[in-house]
Structure 1
Amino acid sequence: MAYPNYGHGAPNYPPPQQGGYGYGAPPPQQHGYGAPPPQHGGGFFGGHGGHAPPAGPPPPQQHYGAPPPQAHYGAPPPQQSGNLVYLGVPVPAPPPAQPSPPPPGFNANAAVESIRKATQGMGTDEKRLIETLAPLDAWQMNAVFHTFKATTGKDLLSELESETSGWFEAILRAKVLGPVGYDVWLVHRACDGAGTHEDILNEVLLCRTNAEMWSLKQAYRAMYGKDMERIVEGDLSLKTKRLFTMALQCQRTEDWAPVDQGLVQHDVKELKSAARGAGTDEIKICSILTQRSTPHLRAVAHAYGHKTHALRDMVRSEFSGHMEDALLYIVATVEGQGPYGVERDANLIEASMAGMGTKDERLVYRLARAHWDRARFEEIKRYYGATIHKKGLAHRVNGETSGDYKRMLLAIVGN
């Protein structure tokens, strides 16, 4: 297994549930995949540099298509205490002007002291770093990030980047940045340099709630001083660009809105009409799959499968390349009977390890992103053990990785 050179001498500008590669080999346009670009110190939770986002709530959203009256298109529902439910877990609202208070009963100073001991002097105590960082949730990690800077005058991510390397460094980065910060970093990673990492864009930007998408856009601007929508559009072209432009508008029906069965039947009819072989109406298909709520799309997938072949088969017959992968990712979120996206995410994790050689970068970000919602991660592991690898995910990861990188992944996965 090759370990990349992350380039600690890179400029210090700040960094941040998944492509349809459960469906086959990655497309050839993934140039240079697995060799991350020079890394950049700082972190989302640290609020480094950049430009402050506009104050206030997201702008009012415009109605799209023909939603039922109760769908309530518009701004995300108010978050309690200014916090956000992101990837299924409550996290500090981005970008935090002030550090969030430490979680009750958590001693951030003890964690900081443990990290200091692990990184002092000659050599690094990787075992201590793993034991300290792996168990932290998003709130605890946020508290440790700020307490480390207040106590030592150093940036935690920069310190760890100087003390570690390779894929061990990569998984520590994912942990330190937290769920929102790491997703922003991944979007930047996907669009930086030659070529676009389409699978990262699929997994980070598709199937997001309006609140999550708005938060990603604000956090990206805060960290990089640029408009995320323009950056993503600049890396894509033609109808794939239009697909992602639709997804970035924060115009989805909210998942808490009741499902209108009349609109479900209407969408099934529209999808069948749009999928007509020669002359496919790609934009109509994209608009339905990107703008409807997840429960609505599950009802559409169920009804579509009763009337004709499965929705995923329609996508495969009508699309190709990145567009096909992106739409398959959306469809895989809602097809099946289990919790939304659990089967999809388990398949994607397996795709990171299947075949010749481990796709380490994919394995890192798929496991790191999944582990924040611990209850859902248990569902993914249960599905994985029941249908993909009988000895379980930890056993699979153990056989595909090595060294401190393996030990950190196993600490995140658990038994």
Structure 2
Amino acid sequence: MNPYQQQYDQPPSGGYQGYQPPPSQAPPAGHFQQPYGAAHGQQYPPQGQPPYPGQPPQQFSGQASPAQPYGPPPPQQFPGQTQPPPHQGYSNQPPPQQYGQQQAYGVPFGQPAQSGAYQYNQQPPFGAAPPQQWQQPFGQPYGQLPAGPPAPPSPGYDVSQKQFYQPVDTNADVEGLRKAMKGMGCDEKALIKILTGPKYVNPWAMQQLVADYNKRFLRDLANDIKSETRGDFEDALLALIRGPLDNDVRTLHKAMDRAGTDETALADVLLCRTNADVKAIVAEYKRLGGKDLLAEIKSEVNDTLFRIYSMALAAGSAEPSAPVNPLDVESKVTELHRSTEGVVGASAVSVAQIFINSNEAQIRAISEAYRNKYHRPLQDVIEKEFRGDTEDALLHILLMSSDHAKADAQWLHSPLMGRMGVKDKQFIYRLTSLYWNPPRLAAAKDAYKTVYRKALKTDVKEALRGDYEDLCVALLGGD
């Protein structure tokens, strides 16, 4: 049996090999330097990252709400998550400079961020393990900016997150799913209503629903959906019940399991991901298919793309909390010029190495400094010097780092409203990926309305039809 057609399994017990959360430690003694690029008055870590211990944690239904002695309002809540106790955070930080900041979530697209707004890349930790204290490694060179703690895996990417997940009551939904697919015909509206219910945005809750259905009826929910639905509606439902990690792995498998590789799918899944998520994807790909992901990619793409993805899969990017170092920015700007406009025969690998080894704030700073020094946008340089899948991969990293909400809006618009018609598999992957990150989806919808002058839901209703349209509208939620 093809391992990729087996029913959805849980990740291996104990998490994924190669990823170990840092042990709880006390914060470093003495003064801790404010990262370059953080907002004025903001405590470490920099903008756009999960809060340190001591900053207000996110709350979920079923939790006791700790006191909120902070200015920002409590973040969005999700069901099924226990809350670890807060810890003491760092304080007495010096006022920082503003360099390469990113617009906050919760702020209308194009407007300046306000204090307390939800910051991009601050993963909503429904199903996630609690933040742990982190200590700067011993022997940090004098004057060098601290590297910052590693970002935790996204919800659904590490089985150890399940210990903080409170099971939900699935009894009525399990019965409703069976009733919708039992007998003659299928109640598609019931399937959509149950599977897009707000409590199942949590990947661990969706996994519980699937397991409870299979156990209750001694059946396989995925197989029942396959037998009762068809086409893009079926594909979207299956992506939804798999959860984010399994859907990533199966998307990669399909991208390389046909005549002609889907390089766009490779970029969608593997670029602009945290180190922890990359490690989880590589491990799960090996577990499900028994094959090495990088070796599979090598057999499918040209040498330049292989070298780009080998760097991405090494999971050695600067962590999102790592600060911007002005001297490092200047050095990388010079190197980018030498690798593109400054020579005959641009080096995509050199450009990719700089991009992949930098976090979003650092790439924004590099892009801004390049424009100031050479009087042209870095995007224009890449579009001039490179072509095809290499150009697409480099632009994907640059644009996602420069303005993630706007890039997400374009990410959805391209397969939905393209001149060649809807690219449904692309759209399904991208929409479900955003669905599992509600703050990111909300920001993308705001940006979409600003860029395209109409709501994303309007375009979905215009481009799609039938039950597939209804499902995508439900995944988008309210405007």
**Is 1:253–1:292's contact at 8 Å kept on the other side of the alignment?**
yes
Q: Tell me the equivalent position of 1:31.
A: none
> Is the CA contact 2:167–2:208 (under 8 Å) kept in the aligned structure 1?
no
Match of 1:130 among 180, 187, 192: 192
| Counterpart for residue 181 of structure 2 | 119
- 1:387 Cα deviation from its structure 2 partner: 1.6
> Following superposition of structure 1 onto structure 2, how do residues 157-306 of structure 1 map, counting pairs within 5 Å?
157-275=222-340, 276-306=342-372
Sequence identity (%): 31
- Cα deviation digits, residues 50-87 of structure 1 (max 9, x gap): x9987563699xxxxx9x954549x945x5xxxx32xx
Which SS does the other structure have where 2:323 is aligned? Answer: coil
> Shift in Å at residue 401 of structure 1?
0.7
What is the letter of the counterpart of residue 368 of structure 2?
A: H
- Name 1:408's counterpart in structure 2: 471
Residue type of the alignment partner of 2:370: Y
Matched residue type, 1:188: H
Find the aligned partners of 1:93 and 1:394 in 2 and give their Cα distance: 32
Q: Secondary structure at the match of 1:232?
A: helix
In 2, the alpha carbon distance for the partners of 1:357 and 1:281 equals 34
Query: Measured at CA, do residues 245 and 405 of structure 1 come closer, stay the same or move farther in structure 2, by a change above 3 Å?
Result: same
The alpha carbon displacement at 1:155 in A equals 2.2
Normalised by the length of structure 1, the TM-score is 0.79
Task: Give the alignment's Cα RMSD to 1 decimal.
Answer: 2.6
Partners of 2:157 and 2:280 within 8 A in 1? no
CA distance in 1, matches of 2:216, 2:195: 17
2:220 alignment counterpart? 155
Secondary structure class of the residue paired with 2:310: helix
Aligned to 2:460: 397
User: Once structures 1 and 2 are overlaid, which stretch shifts more, 280-289 or 176-185?
Assistant: 280-289
Greater percentage in helix: 1
> What secondary structure, in the 3-state scheme, does the structure 2 residue paired with 1:91 have?
coil
Which residue of the partner structure matches residue 3 of structure 1?
A: none
Q: Note if contact 1:100-1:142 (Cα within 8 Å) is conserved in structure 2.
A: no
- 1:197: Cα distance to partner? 0.4
Larger Rg computed on CA atoms: 2
Q: CA deviation at 1:125?
A: 0.9
Q: SS of 1:192's equivalent?
A: coil
For residues 231-284 of structure 1, give each alpha carbon's deviation from its aligned partner in whole angstroms, at most 9, with x where no partner exists.
112211221111111111011011111221110111111101111352323322
**Number of the residue aligned with 2:172:** 110
Check 1:52–1:239 CA distance in 2 against 1; reply closer, same or farther (3 A cut): farther
- Match status 1:324 vs 2:386: no
Change over 3 Å in CA distance of 1:156–1:293 after alignment to 2: same
Give unpaired runs (5+ residues) of structure 1: 1-10, 15-39, 61-65
Q: In the alignment, residue 115 of structure 1 is paired with which amino acid?
A: L
Amino acid at match of 1:327: L
Q: Residue 287 of structure 2 aligns to which amino acid in structure 1? A: A
Give the structure-2-normalised TM-score. Answer: 0.69
Greater length-normalized contact order (CA 8 Å, ≥ 6 residues apart): 1
Q: Which residue identity does 2:428 align to in structure 1?
A: V
Count of equivalent residues? 353
1:113 CA displacement: 1.2
Cα distance in structure 2, aligned partners of 1:404 and 1:101: 36
Question: Helix, strand or coil: the match of 1:241?
Answer: helix
- Residue number in structure 2 paired with 1:91: 156
